[in-house]
Structure 1
Amino acid sequence: MDIKLDVNESNDFVEIYVNGEIDAYTAPKLREAVFPLSEKEGVKMVIDLSEVSYMDSTGLGVIVGVFKSVRGHNGEFKLVGLSERLIRLFEITGLADIIDINSQIEGGVQ
Structure 2
Amino acid sequence: MDINLDVELIEEETVKRLVLSGEIDAYTAPKLKEALLPLTKQANVEVIVDLENVKYMDSTGLGVFISALKSSKEYSSSFKLVNLQERVERLFKITSLDNIISIENTVRGGN
TM-score normalised according to structure 2 size: 0.89
Paired position in structure 2 for 1:56: 58
- Structure 2: any 5+ residue segments left out of the alignment? none
Say what the alpha-carbon RMSD is for the aligned residues. Answer: 1.3
Identical amino acids, percent of aligned pairs: 45
Deviations 1:61-94 (A, max 9, x none): 0011011111211111110010111111101101
Distance, in Å, in 2 between the alignment partners of 1:87 and 1:23 is 15
Of 44, 67, 70, the match for 1:68: 70
Larger mean CA deviation between 53-62 and 95-104 belongs to 95-104
Paired position in structure 2 for 1:108: none
Give the paired residue count. Answer: 105
Distance, in Å, in 1 between the alignment partners of 2:56 and 2:80 is 18
**Alpha carbons 1:78, 1:99 under 8 Å: kept:** yes
Paired position in structure 2 for 1:87: 89
Whichever residue aligns with residue 82 of structure 1, its letter is L
**Mapping 1:3-22, distance limit 5 Å:** 3-22=5-24
Distance, in Å, in 2 between the alignment partners of 1:6 and 1:104 is 20
Report runs of 4+ in structure 1 exceeding 4 Å deviation: none
Whichever residue aligns with residue 30 of structure 1, its letter is L
TM-score normalised according to structure 1 size: 0.90
Distance, in Å, in 2 between the alignment partners of 1:20 and 1:83 is 12
The alpha carbon displacement at 1:101 in A equals 0.7
Whichever residue aligns with residue 83 of structure 1, its letter is Q
